[in-house]
Amino acid sequence: MKLPNRSSVSRREYLKAAVAVGGTAGLAACMEELDEDEPIPTGGESLGDRQHAWNETLELDDDGNHQPPKHHVLRYVNLADGIAPADAREPFADALESLSDAIAWGPEGLLFTVGYSPAYFDRFDEPLDEAVDLPAPQELPGPESNVTLDSVDLVVHLASDRPDVLLEAEEGLFGEAAATNGVEIPALDGLFSFPEYDRRTGFVGAGLPADNQDIRGISGEPVPDEAPFFMGFRSGFAESQPTEDRVTITEGPFAGGTTQHVEKLDIQLNAWFNQENHHQRVAKMFSPEDAREDRVEGVGENLGNATEIVPEEMEDLIEQAREDGVVGHAQKAAAAREDGQPIILRRDFNTTDDEQAGLHFLSLQEKIEDFVTTRNAMTGAAIADGSGVGPRLNNGILQYIFVRNRGNFLVPPRELQSMPTPTGTIE
Ligand code: HEM
């Protein structure tokens, strides 16, 4: 990935590209472009035990929905050959603590989580505490093929509204910067190695997808200006997100933590926009009834803090699919709710990694099983078996999205965020 010629792209597009390029070159481009002396807010405040407690720092939009940070980087990291978790524990803890000292916790500063995979825990003699549900990632039932199952040791999710802050944080942690916002971050030389596709980047928020639609395979400029996501609709309404409490592990040494699923999806945007009209897109994304009743205007600006979808049992969805010949994505996903609440907290973001429109679908849940339950509802295999709807065709948005990578992680409570043991003991 190279930086585009400054004069040929918009400012937003250039800043997004700077994040995708990363490193000192990306950071320099960002600083030059922003050319503002806006200081980076300094951290050091005491943070609670939940790494995933982001909501209280996020702004609310006019409808009361949490606004996710605009820019994101996922860094995939392995322990280097010959390095045991115990060797890296203290240096990594110092580095993470220094990062929190350097930059304030919040979207105007930095939000981050560190998550550990089943492969990380496999190296220990003891099994992972039984209160944690963290199976190895797998291909799931439904039309999937060639999914790479990520087996990297850990993933660091960094997020900020400010691309310069994001890159400075990343450089401080993994690069060669002497200081981050004036705070020295101890170097982690030799402790880590980096797999192929170790850096995944993205963005979310009104305007950013439209500004970044000039990519392979997309003709014209189909993405609406105000859309926060590539497929053209608002998402993450307050009523279709669970609370952070709902996705927090409540028992055992990892209480206060959560599990994280990260999935890379390619999106066939050209087909979505050019083969379908607004009515069909609403039917497939929300529900056929929403389309019939014209309930979704534009990108969904009229929707407030909820979709109009009333969660239904799978049986009723099969019946409805027989009548309408189509079933909506949000409708199917809502069938997985428990006690009226969704069971996965979505913090997904758009990407143009590999010059391909896509989504890094990142969700938090108490158990990975909650993700699998929701994903199976979204796949709607029973609907495909029991109606004229196909495994992909007219089955929500499945015709347009293709899973490329998938990984599962444990995001431990903060005191165990550096190289936890499977039993949570602090050695
Ligand atoms: C390109 C991919 C995707 C797009 C564009 C997308 C978009 C949307 C939209 C527009 C909604 C309704 C509005 C809202 O968020 O409140 C929604 C709901 C939802 N989606 Fe997706 N989604 C995608 C992939 C996924 C995946 C992979 C999952 C994983 C299972 C998922 C799970 C859900 C859930 C749980 C809901 C809320 C249902 C409820 O109201 O209970 N989505 N999505």
Please tell me the predicted confidence (pLDDT) of residue 36: 65
Taking alpha carbons only, the member of 78, 91, 48 closest to residue 151 is 78
Q: Give me the phi and psi of 15, to 5 degrees please.
A: -70, -40
- Which atom number of ligand 1 is nearest to the Cα of residue 265? 1
Ligand 1 pocket check for 240: Cβ under 6 Å:
yes
Ligand 1 pocket check for 349: Cβ under 6 Å:
no
- DSSP result, 276-330: --HHHHHHHHT-HHHHHTT---TTTGGGTTS-SPPP--HHHHHHHHHHHS-B-HH
Which amino acid is it at 290? D
The answer to whether the CB of 219 falls within 8 A of the CB of 270 is yes
Closest residue to atom 21 of ligand 1, CA basis: 330
In the numeric block, the tokens 């994001």 are attached to: 166
Q: At what angle do helices 23-34 and 163-174 cross, to 10 degrees?
A: 150
pLDDT in tens, 118-130: 999 999 999 999 9
Using most ligand atoms within 8 A of CB, pick from 235, 239, 312, 348 the residue to mutate for ligand 1. Answer: 235
Taking alpha carbons only, the member of 13, 4, 183 closest to residue 109 is 183
Using most ligand atoms within 8 A of CB, pick from 378, 392, 401, 404 the residue to mutate for ligand 1. Answer: 378
Spans in the chain with pLDDT lower than 50: none
Distance CA 357, CA 266 (A): 6
| C-alpha of residue 136 to centroid of ligand 1, in Å | 23
Reported pTM: 0.96
Please tell me the predicted confidence (pLDDT) of residue 34: 81
